[in-house]
């Protein structure tokens, strides 16, 4: 009799677990398509699948258009999902401003506090928002620039001044560059079509070009690569996926791993019932160095042997 009771209890627990694992609907808002943002989205989906959650997705891409970015939130509200996944700052801000009754998990947001998403990094309170920050280790980025282009005095940075995350990063770049005895020349764009001209404007004004985790610029990175290659102007970036595309180097988080960790946060909310306001903002601490030998040669740079030796990935 006792064995039968234990078996029944075990079956009930399995049934409860199966019920808890879905089905769920997750609506995704993503400002633009590029490898880093796509990697985060795939990481979230893979982790939820791996953990047995039955999830269907409504994926919305704003294609870099801020008006579309806001319109997407109205669509999502109509979908009534169990959770909103907001990839990058613009989508997260629009979601947090318009949605208060659905859990929101953001990822790839540079500064969630200044973006108005959470009150503090501990996320104290009972809000419906939490997620992951990818704030760039700007001291390490400037050190990498100095290591690869030791004679550089002026860093040219291409960014969209309309992206709050990019403004924060450029300010951090200026502060770290000053400590290293360098200055920063900015070239701002309003949309991806302006990246080529912005890069050209830095020719003769900068010794090296830096592209932060700016969604507008990264989505049109090939334009900057073309200008830098033509003018043998070194290009250093803030995300490792852009190194495969033709930048010289980056030291950054692995955005797919960030997606996996974000997926764990989503699981806690969907399946375990944890309130978003009870989950502090999380970070991914392990950084990877990627270098591109072909890009370095094309842009007039000889990569130091020590840099190549410690790289997690070397693109030949």
Average pLDDT over residues 270-285: 94
In-domain check, residue 13: no
Compute the mean pLDDT over every residue in the chain, rounded to the nearest whole number: 92
pLDDT reported for residue 126: 64
Domain match, 142 and 211 both: yes
Domain match, 246 and 117 both: no
pLDDT band for 7, please (50, 70, 90 cuts): very low
Query: Which residue stretches of 149-232 are H helix?
Result: 164-179, 195-202, 215-219, 221-230
Domain match, 145 and 210 both: yes
Domain count, the chain: 2
Domain match, 207 and 311 both: yes
pLDDT band for 286, please (50, 70, 90 cuts): confident
CB 213 within 8 Å of CB 136: yes
Domain match, 43 and 164 both: no
In-domain check, residue 168: yes
Domain match, 303 and 277 both: no
Q: Tens of pLDDT along 56-82?
A: 999 999 998 999 999 999 999 999 999
Domain that holds residue 215: 138-252+288-315
Q: Tens of pLDDT along 124-150?
A: 766 999 999 998 899 999 999 999 999
Burial class (CB in 10 A: 0-12, 13-18, 19+), 240: buried
In-domain check, residue 17: no
pLDDT band for 165, please (50, 70, 90 cuts): confident
CATH number of the domain where residue 194 is located? 3.40.50.2300
- pLDDT at residue 14 is higher than 60: no
Please give the radius of gyration of the chain, using alpha carbons only, rounded to the nearest integer: 22
Query: Which residue stretches of 21-158 are H helix?
Result: 35-50, 66-79, 89-98, 138-148
In-domain check, residue 89: yes
Domain match, 62 and 122 both: yes
In-domain check, residue 16: no
Domain match, 184 and 74 both: no
pLDDT band for 16, please (50, 70, 90 cuts): very low
Q: Tens of pLDDT along 31-56?
A: 999 889 999 999 999 999 999 999 99
Residue 121 to residues 112, 126, 219, 257, 298: CA-CA distances in angstroms? 8, 13, 28, 20, 42
Q: Is 231 helix (H, G, I), strand (E, B) or coil?
A: coil
Domain match, 74 and 110 both: yes
Q: Which of 95, 63, 97 is nearest to 79 (CA)?
A: 95
In-domain check, residue 19: no
pLDDT reported for residue 285: 78
In-domain check, residue 126: yes
Residue 18 to residues 11, 15, 262: CA-CA distances in angstroms? 10, 5, 22
pTM of model > 0.85: no
CB 213 within 8 Å of CB 239: yes
């Amino acid at each position: 009799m006792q064995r039968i009771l234990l078996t029944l209890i075990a079956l009930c627990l399995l049934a409860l677990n199966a019920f808890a694992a879905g089905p769920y609907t997750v609506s995704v808002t993503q400002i633009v398509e590029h490898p880093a943002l796509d990697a985060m989205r795939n990481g979230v989906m893979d982790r939820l699948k791996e953990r047995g959650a039955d999830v269907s997705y409504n994926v919305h891409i704003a294609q870099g258009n801020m008006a579309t970015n806001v319109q997407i939130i109205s669509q999502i509200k109509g979908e009534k999902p169990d959770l909103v996944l907001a990839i990058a700052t613009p989508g997260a801000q629009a979601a947090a401003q318009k949605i208060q009754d659905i859990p929101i998990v953001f990822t790839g947001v540079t500064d969630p506090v200044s973006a108005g998403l959470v009150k503090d990094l501990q996320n104290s309170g009972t809000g419906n928002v939490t997620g992951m920050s990818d704030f760039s280790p700007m001291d390490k980025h400037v050190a990498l620039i100095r290591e690869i282009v030791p004679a550089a005095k002026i860093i040219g940075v291409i960014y969209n001044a309309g992206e709050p995350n990019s403004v924060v990063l450029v300010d951090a770049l200026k502060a770290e560059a000053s400590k290293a005895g360098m200055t920063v020349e900015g070239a701002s764009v309003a949309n991806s079509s302006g990246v080529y001209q912005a890069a050209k404007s830095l020719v003769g004004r900068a010794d090296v070009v830096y592209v932060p985790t700016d969604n507008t610029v990264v989505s049109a990175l090939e334009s900057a690569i073309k200008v830098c290659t033509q003018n043998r102007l070194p290009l250093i970036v803030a995300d490792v996926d852009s190194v495969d595309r033709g930048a010289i180097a980056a030291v950054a988080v692995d955005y797919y791993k960030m997606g996996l960790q974000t997926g764990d946060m989503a699981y806690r909310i969907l399946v375990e019932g944890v309130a978003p306001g009870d989950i502090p903002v999380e970070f991914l601490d392990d950084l990877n160095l990627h270098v591109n030998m072909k890009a370095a040669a094309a842009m007039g740079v000889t990569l130091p042997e020590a840099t190549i030796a410690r790289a997690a990935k070397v693109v030949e």
